[in-house]
Amino acid sequence: MPEIYLKIIPTEPGYVPKEEARTKAVALLRKLLPRSEDWNGEVHERLEFIDQGEHLETIICPSCGDRLRLHSQVNGEDILDWWYRVSDEMEETGPEEVRVEMPCCRQQVPAMALTFDGPAGFARFEMNVMNPGLKGDLPSEHLARLEEVVGCRLRLIWAQY
Ligand SMILES: [Zn+2]
């Protein structure tokens, strides 16, 4: 059985809610998704790429809008190899420092400008639950309650490993 994670991060990448708000939010998450196997709230020391695991299919170029499929070649470049290099570099220095050359249009762009299908993101604060047993997305009224507790807009990232 694959492990499914629902990760919840602020839409603003560097935002870290106060400790009290974080504790309350994880407690609320536990109440909203009681069938999950695990409920976490983590603060990363620096910005991290919050990945979607096997749900990564396409990386979208912020410069020309090209959609780079992971298992394809673009202008002779293997996108999977290119992406491994980008993610290694992000892991090494933090994503803010990384600029990448896009295989599609050869433009240099900040790694943090990349967008993904399925969605991923960049954050210092993340909450996550394992195997939440949801059919479909987190209901929007649940998301709104979490946003109220942490004091910022939130984004959902579904990951599978
Ligand atoms: Zn491009």
> Each residue of 58-76: pLDDT tens digit?
999 999 999 999 999 999 9
Q: Which residues contact 155 (CB under 8 A, 6 or more apart)?
A: 8, 9, 10, 11, 119, 121
What spacing in Å lies between the alpha carbon of 108 and ligand 1's midpoint? 9
What is the pTM assigned to this prediction?
A: 0.94
> Each residue of 104-155: pLDDT tens digit?
999 999 999 999 999 999 999 999 999 999 989 999 999 999 999 999 999 9
Long-range contact list for 61-64, CB < 8 A, 24+ apart? Answer: 61/102, 61/104, 61/105, 61/107, 61/109, 61/114, 62/109, 62/113, 62/114, 62/115, 63/102, 63/104, 63/105, 63/107, 63/109, 64/102, 64/104, 64/105, 64/107
What spacing in Å lies between the alpha carbon of 50 and ligand 1's midpoint? 22
What spacing in Å lies between the alpha carbon of 68 and ligand 1's midpoint? 9
DSSP state of 139: P
